[in-house]
Every structure is written in C-alpha cells, then in structure tokens.
C-alpha cells in the first residue's frame, strides 16, 4: 500500500499455498493498512491495567481517518477473558 506491499496479492499468494489464517502483530500503520484493505476479520484486543497517553500518542490504527462515531467500525464482542490482570477481548467486524 502507498508504495509498499500489495496486501491483496500477498493474501492471494498465501491462500494458494494453503495458508488461510494470519496473525497480524503489526504497529499502528501496518494494522491500518490491513484494516483499509478489508483484510481483518477478527480482533484480539489485549488490555493491561496501565494507562498511557498524550497528545502525540498513537492509536492501534494510525492513518485510517476515523474521526467521528459515525465513521467508526462497529464490532461485535464474542468473548472477554481475563489472564491474570490482563483482559483479552475477542471481537469481529459487524457486516
């Protein structure tokens, strides 16, 4: 994307090789590229009991340009699990 890897071609090639699941552990720009391409069908969101922030803090999807609630991607929570003090939320995009 934007002079980088063609994600559609990548996923097609992986599928031809029998790879149907990919775990994406990218940074905010990689995450945004896959989200813009419509290639994320499941979210595993981990929340730790720590708060970070600031004016220049990154979101998990930098560059997606979702600025209002009307533009937000709706997700359906499938499960919420605790691992020690951490929480894992499993969610799927609503179609």
Name the DSSP letter for residue 81.
Answer: E
Domain borders along the chain are 7-93
Residue 73 CB contacts under 8 Å (≥ 6 apart), including other chains: 35, 66, 93
Q: What is the pTM of this model?
A: 0.81
The CA–CA distances, whole Å, from 76 to 8, 42, 72, 73, 84 equal 25, 10, 13, 10, 24
Q: What is the pLDDT of residue 6?
A: 92
> What are the tens digits of pLDDT across the range 4-60?
889 999 999 999 999 999 999 988 889 989 998 899 999 999 999 999 888 888 888
Q: How far apart are CA 6 and CA 23, in angstroms?
A: 17
**Sheet containing strand 75-83, strands side by side:** 43-47, 86-93, 75-83
Q: Under CATH, which architecture does the 7-93 domain have?
A: 3-Layer(aba) Sandwich (3.40)
């Amino acid at each position: 994307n934007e002079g980088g890897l063609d994600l559609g071609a990548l996923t097609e090639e992986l599928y031809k090789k029998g790879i149907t699941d990919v775990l994406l552990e990218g940074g905010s720009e990689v995450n945004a590229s896959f989200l813009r391409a419509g290639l994320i069908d499941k979210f595993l969101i981990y929340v730790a009991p720590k708060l970070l922030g600031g004016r220049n803090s990154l979101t998990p999807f930098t560059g997606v340009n979702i600025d209002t609630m009307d533009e937000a991607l709706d997700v359906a929570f499938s499960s919420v699990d605790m691992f020690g003090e951490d929480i894992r939320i499993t969610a799927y995009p609503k179609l």
